[in-house]
Structure formats: structure tokens, C-alpha cells
Structure 1
Amino acid sequence: MNRLFAAIKVNSTASQQICQLQSGFGRDGRIIPKDNLHITLAFFGLTREAVQLELVEAIQAVPKRKFSLCFDTLSIWPNSRLRCLETSQCPQALAELARDLRGLSARYGLHQSLHPYRPHISLQRNLPQTTGQWQTSCALAQPIIIWPSHFQLFRSQLGPSGPHYQPIASWSLHKDG
């Protein structure tokens, strides 16, 4: 079984901006490596090989419209002990793509998120519990804008130095979906 999720990998320009932002964080918590920066669309969880093949085929039929994202808020999610970038507005095309992919998760009996979709980029995990006493969000002086051209299905493999994300399928985003 593979641990799968659909996501948009952060491009190199945005990754450089994010790494610069991360360099100002304290040593508390674990910084997310540049190669692991992504925007999760849907988390499928542990998936049998046969279901994975069906899932890849089903994703082909999902409309895939282009959009841009403006990450303008630096947030701390105290309950998750996570520091992340968020958007103040979720583009409709992104919301629909995430909804459709989460629908496939339900159709195949895979992981079901209990939370509404919130596009974000995880920057730092395992923050100390005291982090909840800090300001939980602030506007970025320089927003980070991303124009994704595609999204991927990733396999997450846990290793001694943390997770490694291996792309196993990719789909282009189109102007007309």
C-alpha cells in the first residue's frame, strides 16, 4: 500500500522566496525542505495498488482549470503545531479541483478530511506548544504568487530524515479545464 496525496509542487522561484522567509524562523520545530514544498489538493492516505490505478484513471476525468494563487498570510496553526503560508482568497478553479479530488477519495473509500479545504504551504512542523501564545497570523509584506501549470499524485515515503515525496502521475492545468 502507498500513502498518496495530490498536490501542486511549488516552483523554483516561489521556493527561493519561501526559503528566504524560512531562514528567519527560529530553531524550534522542523523546517520543511525546499524539495517538499507543495500545496495539497487532496490527501488519499494508504491506498492499495489496484485502487491507485483506478484513482489515476478517475483523475483524468476531473476538470483541470488554470488559476493563480497569492499567498499573502503567514499563519501558525497551534493545534497542528504548524507554520504555513495561506491565501486570503481561494480561487474558484482551485476550490473545485480540490472538491473533485476529495470526492474521488470518498468514492474509493479513502481518507476523508474533516476540515474544509484551505490552500496552504507548510513551512515548519512540530512547533513547541508555547507557539500558540504567539500571533497566529500576519500579512506578508511581499506576497508570494504562484501560477501552477500542473498538479501531481505523490507517494509519501517516510525515512530517517523525514518524508520524501515521489511523483507517480501528473496532469496539466488548462485555460478551459
Structure 2
Amino acid sequence: MRRPLRAAQSSAAGHDERLFFALWPDAPLRDALCRYQRHPDAGGRPIANCQLHLTLAFAGRVSPAQGQGLRDAAATVTERRFFLSLDWLDHFRATRVQWLGPRRPPDALLRLAAVLRGHCRAAGIAQPEANFQPHVTLQRQIRRPLRGAVAPALGWWVDHFVLVESGAQGRAGDYRVVSRWPLR
């Protein structure tokens, strides 16, 4: 069984956690992503640099046993590393979110997300039936969205994925990477 790159840590022994699997960019990529937040007409609230990520599977509030089950399942993932081009700037109208993502998501990204969502379902955690739209949220509460535009590509060699805790003891809050696993 593969081990996580960093040992898993629970927010508090015996307490629920709010968890999700994600791709977590390194500092230079986060800085480059921040440049896309400077669209003057959007009028949104930028996401903090240290919290930029691409969600693969959202688990939400889980019990300690479910959280450990997700960690154990993640250690069995055998997907390969892949190149991701973030080159499409768009928005979600209903949530007023501006995002940057791949215009053509690589198959490896779609497979990784599907595997992790499958592990969530196996742990009894419902997952959306809607198609997966990979994206990095840049701003919330936008007033004037940029609609489906080709953007200068940001290249990202994805060689690991992470489990993130949102908040503490099952309550929403800041993000904290709690485990990290390499891709082959």
C-alpha cells in the first residue's frame, strides 16, 4: 500500500471533519493564478492565494471512521501524473463565481476525479451526478463575469493530490492540507 507524502492529522481526535480531495498548486502557480483575479470589472471577492485549489471530490462533514476510510482509499490510487493546462476563464452564474480551468480537461484528470468520487461513494458520502467541471475558483460574488474566454495558459505538472480539511471539528473555515499522495 502506498503511503501519503505527509502523515494524516485529524483536527481533533474523535471529532467530525469537513474534507475534500483537491489538486493543490505550488506557490509560483498560485501567484500566477492571482494575476487572473485582477479583472477590474468583475467586482468580486478574490480567493486568498493560500486557498487556491482545484477540487476533485467534496466529501463534506464526515465521521472520524469515514475520514480514515478516505485516507486509506486514497493510498490505493494508482493514477499517473499528468500535465494540466489552465486556459479557459468562465463563471458559474448561479453562484456568481469566476474561475479558471482547462478548456479540454485531460483524461487523467477526469479519471482521478472519478476514482476519488468513487471512494467517497464507497464510504457512504453522496456525490453529485452532474458532469465534473474542473476549475480553480478565483473570485466569489462577481458582478460582471468574464464569459467563456480563452486565457493565456498556465501549465501545471500534476504529480500529487491532497486531502484538505475545511475548518475544524466539522465546521466550515480555512483550508488545511492534512494528507498528500503522489501520482505515479
Fold match by TM threshold 0.5: yes
Higher relative contact order (CA 8 A, sep 6+): 2
TM-score by length of 1: 0.87
Give the alignment partner of residue 152 of structure 1, picking from 128, 146, 162: 162
RMSD: 1.8
Give the alignment partner of residue 73 of structure 1, picking from 88, 91, 105: 88
Structure 1 stretches of 4+ with a deviation exceeding 6 A read none
Give the alignment partner of residue 83 of structure 1, picking from 69, 91, 98: 98
Map of 1:101 onto structure 2 = 116
Find the aligned partners of 1:7 and 1:54 in 2 and give their Cα distance: 17
- Residue 64 (structure 1) shift: 2.5
Give the alignment partner of residue 6 of structure 1, picking from 15, 21, 35: 21
The 3-state SS of whatever aligns with 1:147 is strand
Map of 1:172 onto structure 2 = 182
The 3-state SS of whatever aligns with 1:68 is strand
- Residue 80 (structure 1) shift: 1.9
Map of 1:137 onto structure 2 = 148
- Residue 119 (structure 1) shift: 1.2
Is there any run of 5+ residues in structure 1 with no aligned partner, and where?
Answer: none
Identity %: 30
Cα deviations across residues 65-107 of structure 1 (Å, max 9, x unaligned)?
1011101111011112100002111111111110010011111
Matched, 1:54 2:69: yes
The 3-state SS of whatever aligns with 1:90 is coil
Find the aligned partners of 1:80 and 1:114 in 2 and give their Cα distance: 18
2:36 and 2:138 in contact (8 A); partners too: no
Give the alignment partner of residue 141 of structure 2, picking from 126, 142, 151: 126
Give the alignment partner of residue 23 of structure 1, picking from 2, 14, 38: 38
Aligned residues: 166
Stretch deviating more after TM superposition (165-174 or 108-117): 108-117
Stretch deviating more after TM superposition (48-57 or 112-121): 112-121
